[in-house]
Amino acid sequence: LPSPIPWSLAQPVTPDLLVSPSSQDGDLGSECPEDRGNWTGRLDFLLSCIGYCVGLGNVWRFPYRAYTNGGGAFLVPYFIMLAICGIPIFFMELSLGQFSSLGPLAVWKISPLFKGVGMGTILIVSLVAIYYNMIIAYVLFYLFASLTSDLPWQHCGNWWNTDLCLDHHVIKAGNNTLPVNISNTVSPSEEYWRIRWNLCLCLLLSWTIVYLCILKGVKSSGKVVYFTATFPYLILMMLLIRGVTLEGAWKGIQFYLTPQFDHLLSSKVWIEAALQIFYSLGVGFGGLLTFASYNTFHQNIYRDTFIVTLGNAITSILAGFAIFSVLGYMSQELGVPVDQVAKAGPGLAFVVYPQAMTMLPLSPFWSFLFFFMLLTLGLDSQFAFMETIVTAVTDEFPYYLRPKKASFSAVICIALFLMGLILTTESGMYWLVLLDDYSAGFGLMVVVITTCLVVTRVYGKGAWPYFRACWMVLSPATMMALLVYNIVKYQPSEYGNYRFPTWAEVLGILMGVLSCLMIPMGMVVAVLQEEGTLWERVQQASRPAMDWGPSLEENRTGVYVSSLAGSQSPKPLMVHMRKYGGITSYENTAIEVDREMEEEEDDEECMI
């Protein structure tokens, strides 16, 4: 890894003689915070990143976004945006976390003036974790419902069905030769999606599973991902093979990938590609930074970055084949065009695909596999969200919370579960849509843009020219374009034919604004903690903190020797350099002072 060199420390500075903060009255044996730990296996980090990035969005967002934005032609802007926006920001987060071994809050020792960015990140992740686990609760609900001989959403005639319910089995049995108009009808799966019983228990179960998996931090979640990050690929391949062998599957695949290159002239397609990259990789949420903070200092994250980002893109494309092959079969069975059955988001996962499963032999088996795949995909991302929150806070209060990390994790899980109970009510889906639309919208983009600007302009960082060009120009410009586009093309939230009231829109906008307001609030706090004139305070707060740098002594070489506890005193500084090596701007000063002290000791001995 390149060793980042803060611009404010680039010039030689003669250190002041200070007492080590860890020593009191010369006693160096004071209590230290508990070790935060590291990954225990070689593949823990890589699989955790893969599980975090490859989530529900790969299944229910990418395929729909691809076919509505040029089909196969969409892959052109998709991979370009991956190169100029996705990969560079992904690597930036990994490098910050691995270099400092700190969470999303404490990492802003890099420039305390911008600690509000970390606060905004934690607010965003907390809101996302609330509704994301509700989606996992829905998955559990459907998973248990699949453990029957006949799927409950297979036929009409149940107590929850209405007169609008249309059973495709009846249509097929009737041997209709004319196309059926399904525009004013509702499928059994769609009406089943509207029921709400037992969701509270499913939500409780989902939070219990998450807590048990993060109980011991990365030491426990790092083992769980060996299953949850790999098993979805097995199920995805099974669904893909089954899908492409169905009658009419090619119709869906053709609909999915037929290139329409005229779409590339539309700015909307490029914006959609950037949005898909942005949210699919999970940049800005702090999960990548948190995972990397548990790496060893010399982990090869260049390699890991390309493995995860390219693997994520390939998985999205494969998921599109698995989804649209089944939708092609479904459209042929119903006798309607593919675009009438294709949906995005929860509608695809909980309405369209479950309905398609009822048309297959052994439908409960395929339904169970599909929802089990969604469960493992969702849990990996939820692990990252929770580990981000817990790590961020425990790194801020290591003496008090790190020894009680399991109890603190339980408190966080219980609090978020209670806040998520509103999502299990009759209006729960409307709250979920509101959170999905606004919790990680423009606020997240502001967080990422600010991070890029701080790291490249305030702090300075050495890396490959490709990464520097992206961090300084291409990535911030792309994110700024996304932000402007979202503001200009803003549309109120909708769920089906229901348009949200004004008060709900205001509440959603406040979610995004509040995460942005954390940045100036953090600036005010940082400036007030400094001394001098306003400009001097701003300058001091923007510089890296004295203890910024690698966490282990052997990795604090170069200018970071000065940030060691007690290193401002010449003797400890020389001891460190002799033990670990490294030439610093303080070396000459330290040698001179060391020589003077030895001469004084010799003079005193002579006098005696």
Over residues 26-51, the pLDDT tens digits come to: 333 335 566 788 898 889 999 999 99
Q: Pick the more confident residue, 515 or 150.
A: 515
Domain 42-145+186-491+498-529 adopts which CATH fold? Amino acid/polyamine transporter I (1.20.1740)
Q: Where are the alpha helices (DSSP H) in 187-248?
A: 188-193, 199-214, 218-228, 231-244
For residue 58, what are the CA distances in angstroms to 243, 322, 481? Answer: 17, 11, 23
54 is in an annotated binding site: yes
58 is in an annotated binding site: yes
Any idea which residue has 């890099």 for tokens? 110
Residue 144 confidence class, pLDDT cut points 50, 70, 90: very high
Most confident of 169-183, 202-216, 252-266, 333-347: 202-216
Backbone angles phi, psi at 498, to 5 degrees: -90, 125
**Tokens coding 208:** 């219990």
- Helix, strand, coil share of the chain (percent; to 5): 70, 0, 30
575 is in an annotated binding site: no
List the domain boundaries for the chain. 42-145+186-491+498-529
Query: How far apart are the C-alpha atoms of 397 and 392, rounded to whole Å?
Result: 9
**Mean pLDDT for the chain overall:** 82
Query: How far apart are the C-alpha atoms of 13 and 17, rounded to whole Å?
Result: 12
* For residue 445, pLDDT beyond 60: yes
Residue 490 confidence class, pLDDT cut points 50, 70, 90: confident
161 is in an annotated binding site: no
Query: How far apart are the C-alpha atoms of 140 and 146, rounded to whole Å?
Result: 10
Query: How far apart are the C-alpha atoms of 149 and 146, rounded to whole Å?
Result: 8
pTM: 0.83
* For residue 323, pLDDT beyond 80: yes
Question: Which DSSP helix (H) or strand (E) runs through 372?
Answer: helix 363-396
The pLDDT tens digits of the residues spanning 416-426 come to: 999 999 999 88
Query: How far apart are the C-alpha atoms of 597 and 589, rounded to whole Å?
Result: 12
Query: How far apart are the C-alpha atoms of 540 and 164, rounded to whole Å?
Result: 67
475 is in an annotated binding site: no
18 is in an annotated binding site: no
Q: Compute the C-alpha angle 502/507/508, nearest 5°.
A: 100
The pLDDT tens digits of the residues spanning 348-396 come to: 788 888 888 888 888 899 999 999 999 999 999 999 999 999 999 999 9
